A and B are shown apart, each in its own frame.
Chain A
Amino acid sequence: MSTFRIAVHITPRKGLLDPQGNAVKGALHTLGFAPVREVHVGRYVIVETEASDATAAEHAVTDMCRKLLANPVTEDFEIETAVPA
């Protein structure tokens, strides 16, 4: 067993109203970043886990996302490649 580190990006599901993203977009426009079209605010989670190899670690973290880290009704998630911790 080795320890792996995996980063997870969790974002509001596309198409759902994202008031936080809209508020940040408005502030960016106020600051003069007129070309900004979309902003979405999500969460960034770092998991360090023991696993037999990187693939097993990624499978485990995907399972964690489905069961707890992301809400399947309202959020999408992407996991990064596992790296040795």
Chain B
Amino acid sequence: MKFGIVTFPGSNGDYDAYHAVTENLGEDATYLWHKDHDLQGSDVIILPGGFSYGDYLRSGAIARFSPIMSEVISHAKSGGPVIAFCNGFQIACEAGLLPGALLRNSRLQFVSAPVRVRVENADTIFTNRYQPGQVLKIPVAHGDGRYVATGEDLDELEGEGRVTFRYTDADGNVSDAANPNGSERNIAGIMNEGGNVLGMMPHPERACSPLVGSVDGVRLFESILSKVAV
């Protein structure tokens, strides 16, 4: 399986994603330059973390109009898997691939720390190798991670099982203290209606080796391998 990792000006999670896919997963990966119009036959697209375009205007607002995004959007609309981590999540929301938006953390501080997230739906192409309710330790590193959406959108996400991850404590309890950024309903990750686009603020690609303190991200990539036919 081939993963295409988009590099925007200001991306910094592209190397981490590449490393996770090639070294930890043993699959093929290629970088896709944001100015190109070619996904190079990638089966899965990763929109990585970082600070594309310096977060000017709003996080993700300008990257969303990068040339390659028209191909990424077509790929997503035709059911192709897209994983959007952190800044990628912000870009995916700005692009309309996912509902809602990511705003400044409620405590106004950049948060760089391991957090706990609970698997809310283990029956997706991104989470099928986890147990429902499993609590994962995955790092976050963001200043604009507070997920907001309209009440109707939030209810729809919940009702359709599209909230994939929620911030909790180590025992899986939802609380304000376990919410690193003030996200509505402690939402850490969501999917689109088709279940083929995942956006999440935590970085599973940075939790794939005992060297960095957690391997809880590995199964996310394994889930995709087991479900996506090449």
Contacts and interface: CB of A to CB of B under 8 A. Distances in A.
Interface of A: 16-17, 19-20, 23, 43, 68-69, 71, 73-74
A36 B61 CA distance: 32
B211 interface: no
Given A20-B108, A73-B99, A74-B148, 15 more contacts: A16-B103, A16-B148, A17-B182, A19-B104, A19-B105, A19-B108, A19-B182, A20-B104, A23-B108, A68-B62, A68-B65, A71-B94, A71-B101, A73-B101, A73-B148
Contacts of A17: 103, 106, 146, 182
Interface size class of B (residues with CB under 8 A): 20 to 34
Contacts of B148: 16, 73-74
Nearest to B153: A73
Give chain B's interface secondary structure class. Answer: loop
B227 interface: no
26 contacts: A16-B103, A17-B103, A17-B106, A17-B182, A19-B104, A19-B105, A19-B106, A19-B107, A19-B108, A20-B104, A20-B108, A43-B57, A68-B57, A68-B62, A68-B65, A69-B57, A71-B58, A71-B61, A71-B94, A71-B101, A73-B93, A73-B100, A73-B149, A73-B150, A74-B101, A74-B103
Interface centre among B103, B146, B182 (most CB of A within 10 A): B103
A68 B61 contact: yes
A71 B90 CA distance: 12
Contacts of B65: 68
A16 B108 CA distance: 15
A27 to B, nearest CB: 12
Pairs A-B, 10 closest by C-beta atoms: A73-B101, A74-B101, A19-B106, A19-B108, A71-B101, A71-B58, A23-B108, A74-B103, A19-B104, A74-B148
Nearest to B99: A73
Contacts of A23: 108
A17 B105 CA distance: 10
A57 B164 CA distance: 44
Nearest to A72: B101
Nearest to B102: A74
A74 B184 CA distance: 13
Contacts of A43: 57
A66 B36 CA distance: 26
A20 B105 CA distance: 10
A19 B105 CA distance: 8
Interface in B79-116: 93-94, 99-101, 103-108
A20 to B, nearest CB: 6
A29 B106 CA distance: 20
